[in-house]
Amino acid sequence: MEKFEQAKICLDKKIISLKKEKNIDLTHHICRVELYIDISGSMSGRFEYGKVQDAVTRIFPVAVLFDDDHVMPVSAFGNGVYPLADMTLQNYATYVKREILSKYSITEGTNYAPFVRQAIERAKEDSPYPLFNIVITDGDCHDKRQSDMAFRESAKYKGFFQCIGIGDDDFDYLNRLDNLGDRFADNTAFVPVDEIEKLIFLKSILQFLLLC
């Protein structure tokens, strides 16, 4: 069975289980799901061996289920942030090759603050739906101080960041984001890519949607 269908079935089953066991119905919750993909130099092997496309394929069902229009806006980030074509049911299977590898060199640094600031502007837009941001990255950033400030600012708005770590880095910075102080709300979470199939990140979606 194709990986997207596998991921969608697992997600659907978990949603049904939550309704039966805890009387939590997520089917009526809607948000805007957006994706940010790291194109720093250390990610080159992750792209080359298909790990990024695999992660994208497993993540996209979240947008299909929760997003207001079932389309997922995507941006790449490195030294800056670069908006890409939206991800849809028609292009997700070859998205990484068509929209990233054919247009960008995977050679940049890793800065988080630019995409966090973009997400802040998106959260400020006049929309009835909150913003759920998914971030795929393989390591810590070079701009921790600026990123701390940006994440603290983002907590003032209806937006959440689910960071997904790909690779074998310790992800010290992403792990400590959960305990980042002086924030209006805890709007960040981290999970290794290997845990996607266990749907641990669904807890973040649940917490986020029920609070909004």
User: Among residues of the chain, what percentage have pLDDT more than 70?
Assistant: 79
**pLDDT, averaged across the chain:** 84
C-alpha torsion 61→66→67→68, nearest 10: 140
Query: What fold, for 3-211?
Result: Rossmann fold (3.40.50)
pLDDT tens-digit readout, 58-89? 888 888 878 778 899 999 999 999 999 999 98
On the 0-12 / 13-18 / 19+ scale of CB atoms within 10 A, 147 is buried
User: Among residues of the chain, what percentage have pLDDT more than 90?
Assistant: 50
Given pLDDT bands bounded at 50, 70 and 90, which one contains residue 3? low
Say whether 194 sits in a helix, a strand or coil.
Answer: helix
Given pLDDT bands bounded at 50, 70 and 90, which one contains residue 1? very low
- For residue 85, the 8-state DSSP code is P
pLDDT tens-digit readout, 18-36? 555 556 556 667 889 999 9
pLDDT tens-digit readout, 180-190? 888 988 889 88
Determine the pLDDT at residue 180.
Answer: 86
Domain residue extents for the chain: 3-211
pLDDT tens-digit readout, 105-134? 999 999 999 999 999 999 999 888 889 999
